[in-house]
Structure 1
Amino acid sequence: MSEKQQLLLVDDEPGIRESVQAYLEDNENWIVTAASNAEEAWQSLENKVPDLIVSDIMMPQVSGYEFLAKLKEDPRYRSIPVVFLTARGMTSDRIQGYEAGCDAYLSKPFDPEELEAIVKNLLSKTKVNTKKGGNSSAELEKIAKELVEIKAKLDDKLGTSNGITVTPPPIKIDLTPREQSVLDLVAQGLMNKEIARDLSTSVRNVEKYVSRLFGKTGTNSRTELVRFALQHGLTQ
């Protein structure tokens, strides 16, 4: 039996929030957590990383745009698909939403079946990307926490022992400039799609570079690769 997928719904209108939550929860494969504003949603994120977020745009204090911008700035959450729900349905509004980084834009009033179809499609794409070598949001959060622990341990090892500075053993691995760039971005927690965008290349090329890095470092996963790179000074 597959693990249920986590959805986070953010909307300040109680009626819409409750009805959308009830409809989405009819799908037995989804667990829906509801938040009445962006601040409450962020607190929920800190406790449990969802597989997808459905958010209103026009909310008090912090708008959906501002909430999305904050998500994109955090390596732990930037890969989470975001669906915007809004009463503003002009073409210019949709363009603004997509330029902000949302994955889908649905104008109110909307057909719940259309929302369900969008959610299913985005979750399916995320699952495929993860199988191809990307990271789920939960995995990115785990990697981020492991990086903090690894860096802390390395700081201890690079400290002093009996007044003598300890230096890690050198290691020589020949990386091309592009392989180094990919490695640095992997260490930042970026997914293949994001790396491809930053380096102006294709996702397939990024996958090839990541595979080469696995071979050169003798690692089998992105977490092992980042751990190896940090331990041997291959990235900062």
Structure 2
Amino acid sequence: MTGQLLLVDDEPGLREAVQAYLEDSDFSVDVAANANEGWQKLQQHTPDLVITDVMMPQVDGYQFLKQMREDPRFKTLPVVFLTARGMTKDRIQGYNAGCDAYLSKPFDPDELVAIVENLLERRGATDKPSEGTNLDEIARQLAEIREQLKQRPAIAQTASPIKIDLTPREQSVLDLVAEGLMNKEIARRLETSVRNVEKYVSRLFSKTGTNSRTELVRYALEHGLTH
């Protein structure tokens, strides 16, 4: 699984070690040495998940979390607390403050990776799919796509090949979209999260200048982009 994470911790050694382990697990990790720096990073780019220490100078993790939850942009952003305070009352305080997971130091990095993957998977499952939740509209789009697929040989005869730099995963997603699969089905086929599929579809829209799955498939077929 991939994802963009923000790690906030004032201990340089721990911060670097956790960053390295998460990056080895295929996550992209941005780091901040304190909550104020973390807040600035959030303004520049919204990550998929935040991992933050609780006990930090000036602004602690609870204040940082409160600041995030009061901002509509970050109200539902998954947050994992890392802290040396592991008593039950501390965990309760963390969950009451709105964190999604609470991990006591020292911790097994594999456990952190499992927590992050689980939270991102849950978020992907509950996020509104990019193609919408109107079943009639989805059915209509599928019908259009499949109708175009029937005409594929005719289209191929007049195709005007065009070179667009697609990553192997983007190509795989494009081919499956062209087969008429929706994001949930594509995620299952590629063994990834729905959220990741949505990101790839969004990138395909951007690279092809299209705005819908139907337009994307039409563009791909006309320009010989599908395999």
TM-score by length of 2: 0.56
Aligned to 1:23: 21
Higher RCO (CA-CA < 8 Å; seq separation 6+): 2
1:12 aligns with 2:18: no
Q: What does 1:1-236 align with in structure 2 at a 5 Å threshold?
A: 4-28=2-26, 30-131=27-128
1:22 positional shift: 0.3
1:131 positional shift: 3.8
Structure 1 unaligned blocks of 5 or more? 136-236
Amino acid at match of 2:4: Q
Amino acid at match of 1:114: E
Aligned to 1:223: none
- Number of residue pairs aligned between Structure 1 and Structure 2: 131
1:130 positional shift: 1.0
Following TM superposition, the consecutive aligned residue runs of length 4 or more in structure 1 with deviations greater than 4 angstroms are none
Percent of residue pairs bearing the same amino acid type: 63
Alignment deviations for residues 2-49 of structure 1 (CA, whole Å, 9 cap, x no partner)? 9x5210000000010000000000122x11001000000011001110
Alignment deviations for residues 29-88 of structure 1 (CA, whole Å, 9 cap, x no partner)? x11001000000011001110000000000000000000000000001111100000000
Alignment deviations for residues 69-116 of structure 1 (CA, whole Å, 9 cap, x no partner)? 000000011111000000000000000000000000000000000000
Whole-angstrom CA distance in 1 between matches of 2:129 and 2:87? 36
Over aligned residue pairs, what C-alpha RMSD do you find? 1.7
